[in-house]
């Protein structure tokens, strides 16, 4: 009892010291320690310890294999017998399960935890301290626990399959950054990846597709490689991976898609569909109308699948998908229409809710709970479901307000299949732009969510969909860099991106030195081009304080700029920018400016673009810079979700115009359509506008449509153009029934 009070008193005093340290400058200390995710409380003493090697005895509380490998790659940490260890492990029951206290003293290290999880996290932090700070170790007290209970990473193996050894690499990466949930996407239209013994055709047929799309979905016409592709995990391999994860205190959540994304399963058992036909596993990406039919044959099949799944995954959750389920097959099915009437359902959305709720009851009876993507809200939320909010934050907020647990994973910040740089050298990705800084700055709890409902936000998760990721090196490239930022976004209560970068660079080098295919875009410049304000355009960059900007233009020569003042662009042509820090430098950013009459006009938009596709504001479409021909998520394209782009330009005085050129992106597989029509109007007072031309029948065989209209000595002060959104996506197309996206780039005025 006496010893317990000594520990309690020591813990109390260290807590006081840690609070004092916060008032000094926690983040400055974090740079020196090199730990990611950043610990939440630190007391750094003014002197180093005498510790120049860590001799540690690990009991059976944590997985010895994980740490043997980790320590093998860490100079200065040695596994020893208990009597020669200078690391003392203490049990402190009052600590949170995932919390730990790491106390580095003059000649010894004390680690206090209440669980094997906390001990693992403490040892990982100690290892990172040795790797990224070095000896002698500082005298420091760290008290740490996560901000969010759920910290997840997702991997899609249905589009492209990754070996057992690759999945283990993924889990080791997760353990290094204290992630605790692995969302394993095992089934989809393109392949069924889990062995179900009762249904052997899932392995023989559904696990394979006859060929695979080449290039991007937006490339027309579609081309295929003509090679059969597929694989699956045996139940023994599943159990091996689940055990490997558990040894690292990671829970594995399997996803078995229903009622949509079922085409691979239907290819093996066509009686599960609503039509009497032979199905094939999908050979391209997207959403398909062939879905499970909600009949007794289907429910028996899925219940049998669940029976085997629950024996393989001991965790709390089974993910049932529930996303992107087209209703056309159900609308055409006499059985489905009769079932809607019989169950007194409102419509097909109600039928999806009926489907999910029925499966939830069965899964609950097996002692598990379901997770579903936020579409499961449509038609009524299943009673005990956890919602994974991916189409933004609204679904998550709605579920939280209904007192349901929520895992936030909005595509705007958490989809690692998006591009991470505007560089033309980036490997092909689905689209969008999700940078390291954007991930780091993400907060899972929306500011507009009521305080009493925030307890339902369990945490967040990154997602990697593998349509364009064929090998594990691609997983490393798309995930590892941004995953480091995600780890801190979900763990640390205090964040500072510029100071995070110092630790991040060391961690990036760590993985690169181990052979990982690391993305590195820290020095990539993202321009903020200001236009549309009735004056010459300018460009600026948000850079950390210790970065320098190098600028070159043929008329101005090479200039080194230490200040962050905007650079006024006075001439057309190529302008080159590069960020440097000490002897390190980023890739040159070359911007080709075309100064036309629109670049000095002011602009007003009637409808705002979607927040995630708002570029640098409304002036992005008259700033003299064309957006990327292959990516719509950069700083130049403005994306309108179901609305028109209506803009009014003011040239300041009567101006002669001779031509206007519009530029649009087309990607129907991603719901991006060309406009229905364009109307051009003029005015001299900004009040009464006259329509002078209409353009319709807009088409292109490529991703980019360029539409021009000439005039002869047109005199006007105000120019207005109304670009009409395509409207509702037609039946048979990806996203049928949803409103189309409209993406507009540079509007050039001569």
Active site residues: 188, 261, 324
Instruction: Sort residue 713 into left (φ over 0), alpha (ψ -120 to 50) or beta.
Output: left
Alpha helix stretches (DSSP H) within 159-216: 164-176, 201
Q: Which residues contact 630 (CB under 8 A, 6 or more apart)?
A: 216, 703
Looking at 608-696, which runs of residues are DSSP E strands? 638-641, 645-665, 677-683, 690-695
Q: Are 461 and 154 in contact (CB under 8 A)?
A: yes
Contact 195, 254 (CB under 8 A): no
Q: Find the angle CA(70)-CA(71)-CA(75) to the nearest 5 degrees.
A: 125
d(CA 370, CA 407): 12
Q: How far is CA 440 from CA 481, 497, 691, in A?
A: 11, 7, 47
DSSP string, 30-79: HHHH--SSPPSEEEEEEEE-S--SEEE---TTS-HHHHHHHHHTSTTEEE
Q: Which two tokens stand for residue 254?
A: 């399997």
- Distance (Å) of CA 150 to CA 96, 97, 445, 487: 14, 13, 13, 11
Q: In b/e form, how buried is each residue of 435-444, taking b as 16+ CB within 10 angstroms?
A: bbbbbbebeb
Structure-block tokens of residue 133: 């700070």
Number of helices followed by number of strands (H, E) in the chain? 17, 39
Burial of 652 (0-12, 13-18, 19+ CB in 10 A): exposed
What is the β-pairing status of strands 229-230 and 527-530?
Answer: unpaired
Residues 500-539, buried b or exposed e (16+ Cβ, 10 A)? bbbbbbebbebbeeeebbbbbbbbbbbbebbbbeeeebbb
What's the token pair of residue 273?
């569909």
CB 167 within 8 A of CB 241: yes
In whole angstroms, give the CA distance from residue 92 to residue 112.
6
């Amino acid at each position: 009892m006496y010893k317990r009070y000594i520990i309690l008193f020591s813990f109390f005093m260290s807590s006081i010291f840690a609070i004092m340290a916060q008032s000094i400058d926690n983040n400055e200390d974090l740079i020196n320690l090199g730990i990611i995710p950043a610990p939440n409380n630190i007391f750094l003493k003014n002197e180093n310890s005498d510790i120049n090697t860590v001799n540690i005895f690990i009991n059976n509380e944590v997985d010895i294999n994980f740490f043997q490998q980790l320590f093998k790659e860490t100079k200065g940490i040695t596994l020893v017998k208990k009597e020669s260890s200078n690391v003392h492990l203490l049990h402190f029951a009052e600590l949170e399960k995932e919390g730990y206290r790491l106390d580095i003293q003059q000649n010894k290290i004390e680690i206090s935890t209440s669980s094997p999880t906390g001990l693992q996290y403490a040892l990982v932090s100690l290892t990172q301290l040795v790797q990224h700070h070095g000896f002698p170790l500082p005298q420091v007290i760290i008290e740490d626990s996560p901000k969010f209970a759920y910290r997840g990473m997702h991997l899609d193996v249905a589009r492209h399959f990754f070996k057992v050894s690759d999945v283990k690499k993924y889990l080791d990466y997760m353990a290094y950054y204290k992630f605790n949930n692995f969302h394993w996407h095992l089934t989809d239209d393109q392949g069924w990846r889990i062995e179900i013994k009762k249904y052997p055709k899932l392995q023989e047929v559904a696990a394979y597709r006859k060929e695979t799309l080449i290039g991007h979905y937006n490339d027309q016409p579609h081309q295929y490689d003509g090679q059969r592709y597929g694989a699956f995990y045996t139940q023994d391999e599943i159990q091996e991976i689940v055990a490997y994860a558990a040894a690292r205190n990671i829970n594995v959540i399997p996803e078995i898609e229903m009622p949509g994304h079922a085409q691979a399963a239907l290819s093996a058992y066509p009686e599960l569909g609503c039509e009497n036909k032979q199905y094939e596993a999908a050979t391209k990406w997207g959403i398909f109308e062939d879905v499970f039919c909600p009949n007794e044959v289907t429910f028996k099949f899925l219940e049998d699948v669940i029976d085997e799944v629950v024996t393989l995954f001991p965790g709390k959750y089974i993910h049932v998908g529930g996303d992107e389920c087209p209703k056309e097959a159900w609308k055409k099915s006499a059985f489905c229409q009769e079932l809607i009437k019989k169950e007194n359902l409102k419509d097909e959305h109600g039928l999806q809710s009926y489907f999910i709720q029925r499966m939830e009851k069965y899964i609950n009876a097996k002692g598990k709970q379901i997770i579903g993507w936020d579409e499961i809200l449509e038609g009524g939320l299943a009673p005990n479901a956890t919602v994974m909010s991916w189409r933004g934050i609204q679904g998550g907020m709605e579920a939280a307000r209904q007192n349901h647990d929520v895992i936030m994973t909005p595509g705007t910040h958490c989809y690692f299949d998006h591009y991470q740089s505007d560089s033309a050298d980036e490997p092909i990705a689905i689209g969008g732009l999700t940078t390291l800084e954007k991930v780091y700055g993400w907060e899972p709890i929306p500011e507009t969510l009521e305080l009493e409902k925030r307890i339902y936000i369990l945490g967040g998760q990154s997602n990697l969909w593998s349509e364009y990721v064929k090998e594990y090196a691609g997983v490393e490239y798309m995930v590892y860099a941004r995953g480091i930022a995600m780890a801190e976004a979900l763990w640390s209560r205090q964040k500072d991106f510029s100071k995070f970068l110092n630790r991040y660079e060391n961690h990036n080098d760590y993985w690169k030195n181990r052979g990982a295919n690391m993305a590195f875009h820290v020095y990539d410049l993202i321009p903020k081009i200001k236009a549309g304000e009735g004056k010459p355009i300018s460009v600026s960059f948000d850079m950390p304080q210790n970065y320098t900007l190098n600028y070159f233009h043929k008329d101005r020569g090479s200039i080194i700029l230490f200040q962050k003042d905007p650079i006024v662009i006075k001439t057309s042509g190529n302008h080159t920018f590069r960020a440097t820090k000490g002897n390190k430098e980023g890739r040159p950013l070359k911007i080709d400016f075309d100064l036309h009459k629109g670049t000095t006009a002011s602009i007003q938009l009637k409808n705002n673009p979607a927040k995630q596709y708002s570029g640098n504001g409304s002036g992005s479409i008259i700033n003299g810079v064309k957006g990327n021909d292959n990516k719509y998520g950069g700083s130049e394209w403005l994306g309108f979700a179901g609305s028109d782009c209506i803009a009014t330009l003011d040239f300041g005085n009567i101006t002669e115009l001779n031509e206007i050129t519009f530029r649009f992106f087309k990607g129907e597989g991603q719901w991006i359509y060309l406009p229905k029509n364009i109307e051009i109007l003029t005015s001299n007072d900004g009040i009464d506008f006259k329509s002078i031309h209409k353009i319709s029948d807009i088409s292109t065989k490529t991703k980019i449509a360029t539409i021009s209209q000439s005039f002869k000595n047109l005199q006007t002060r105000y120019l207005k153009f109304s670009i009409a959104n395509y409207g509702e996506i037609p039946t048979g197309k990806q996203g049928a029934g949803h409103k189309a996206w409209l993406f507009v780039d540079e509007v050039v005025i001569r």
